[in-house]
């Protein structure tokens, strides 16, 4: 795997580069946002520090996501909840706060690599797993094309947001436990203690404009729901 390491601290960059090289990966290290944008197309994986000298890391993350869909983990000293939420919403596949244990970071990299790009459903998990579009009110989820439309207009979700929605759409009649979703999408059921899943669900609701598209079952998990707009249209027709 060829990794792009975006890190302006020389000592941290050396440590990360050495750890990745020992696992057989090649690494291109850059310390500026401009260079990251220049080389991201060749990357199979990205590690991104947010404290860059020429551009805020969150803004760089948003720009990277417009041109690159490679797995990306934020590795930063920013530990405020607001920063973590913004990073996940901007498209990061994981968020690791410095200081960290190198073994843990490597494990997270391996997990993201295994899970990224895989369809979230198992064979036989319903229409979504078979590649057929699934409708929930006026919302259509197309797992084959990885698109979501609301009232006929396409809505852009991050890769992780789409994976969560497609997983729920694969079995729309079931309530899915948080731990199962986290294990299938993130590869780590212990992320239940984090807000990663909640942030992505909030992103789905906000971007589609359909708060009821993902239904929360308190203390358990989530289920695909119908859109309020469709419910209102159905009620008017009665």
Neighbours of 25 (CB within 10 A): 17
Q: What's the CA gap between 69 and 117, in Å, rounded? A: 9
| Tokens representing residue 231 in the block | 């419910």
Half-sphere exposure in the Cβ direction for 163 (13 Å, CA)? 22
Residue 233 has pLDDT above 90, yes or no: no
| Tokens representing residue 128 in the block | 């979504």
Q: Which residues of 87-96 are buried (b: 16+ CB within 10 A; e: fewer)?
A: bbbbbbbbbb
Q: What's the CA gap between 128 and 218, in Å, rounded? A: 25
Q: What is the pLDDT of residue 49?
A: 96
Q: What is the pLDDT of residue 191?
A: 63
Is residue 23 within 8 Å of 17, Cβ to Cβ?
no
Is residue 39 within 8 Å of 11, Cβ to Cβ?
no
Q: How confident is the model at residue 112 (pLDDT cuts 50, 70, 90)?
A: confident
Residue 26 has pLDDT above 50, yes or no: yes
Q: What is the pLDDT of residue 178?
A: 86
Which SS3 state, helix, strand or coil, does residue 154 take? strand
Q: What's the CA gap between 57 and 74, in Å, rounded? A: 9
Q: What is the pLDDT of residue 114?
A: 76
Provide, rounded to the nearest whole percent, the portion of the chain with pLDDT above 90: 52
What average pLDDT does this structure show over 139-167? 92
Residue with the bigger pLDDT between 87 and 125: it is 87
Beta bridge partners of 51: 56
Between 58-67, 133-142, 170-179, 223-232, the lowest mean confidence (pLDDT) is in: 223-232
Q: How confident is the model at residue 69 (pLDDT cuts 50, 70, 90)?
A: confident
pLDDT digits (tens, 9 = 90+) for 77-106: 999 988 998 998 888 989 999 999 999 898
Longest CA–CA separation in the chain, Å: 68
Q: What is the pLDDT of residue 142?
A: 93
> Across all residues in the chain, what is the average pLDDT?
84
Q: What's the CA gap between 213 and 104, in Å, rounded? A: 34
Q: What is the pLDDT of residue 128?
A: 52
pLDDT digits (tens, 9 = 90+) for 178-209: 888 887 887 766 665 567 888 999 999 999 99
What average pLDDT does this structure show over 41-49? 93
Between 2-16, 39-53, 97-111, 120-134, the lowest mean confidence (pLDDT) is in: 120-134
- Nearest-10 crossing angle of helices 196-208, 81-89: 50
Q: Where are the beta strands (DSSP E) in 17-146?
A: 26-30, 45-48, 72-76, 94-97, 134-136, 139-142
């Amino acid at each position: 795997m060829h990794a792009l390491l975006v890190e302006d601290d020389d000592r941290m960059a050396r440590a990360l580069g050495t750890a990745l090289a020992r696992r057989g990966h090649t690494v291109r290290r850059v310390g500026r946002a401009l260079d990251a944008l220049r080389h991201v197309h060749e990357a199979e994986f990205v590690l991104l520090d947010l404290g860059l000298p020429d551009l805020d890391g969150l803004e760089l993350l948003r720009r990277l996501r417009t041109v690159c869909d490679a797995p990306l983990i934020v590795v930063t000293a920013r530990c405020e909840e607001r920063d973590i939420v913004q990073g996940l919403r901007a498209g990061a596949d994981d968020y690791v706060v410095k200081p960290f244990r190198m073994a843990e970071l490597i494990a997270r990299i391996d997990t993201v690599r295994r899970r990224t790009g895989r369809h979230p459903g198992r064979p036989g998990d319903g229409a979504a797993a078979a590649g057929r579009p699934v409708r929930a009110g006026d919302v259509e989820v197309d797992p084959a094309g990885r698109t979501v439309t609301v009232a006929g207009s396409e809505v852009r979700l991050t890769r992780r947001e789409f994976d969560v929605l497609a997983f729920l759409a694969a079995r729309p009649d079931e309530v899915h436990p948080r731990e199962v979703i986290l294990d299938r999408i993130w590869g780590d059921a212990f992320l239940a203690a984090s807000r990663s899943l909640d942030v992505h669900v909030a992103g789905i609701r906000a971007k589609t404009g359909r708060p009821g598209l993902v239904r929360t079952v308190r203390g358990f998990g989530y289920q695909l729901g119908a859109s309020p707009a469709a419910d209102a249209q159905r009620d008017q027709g009665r």
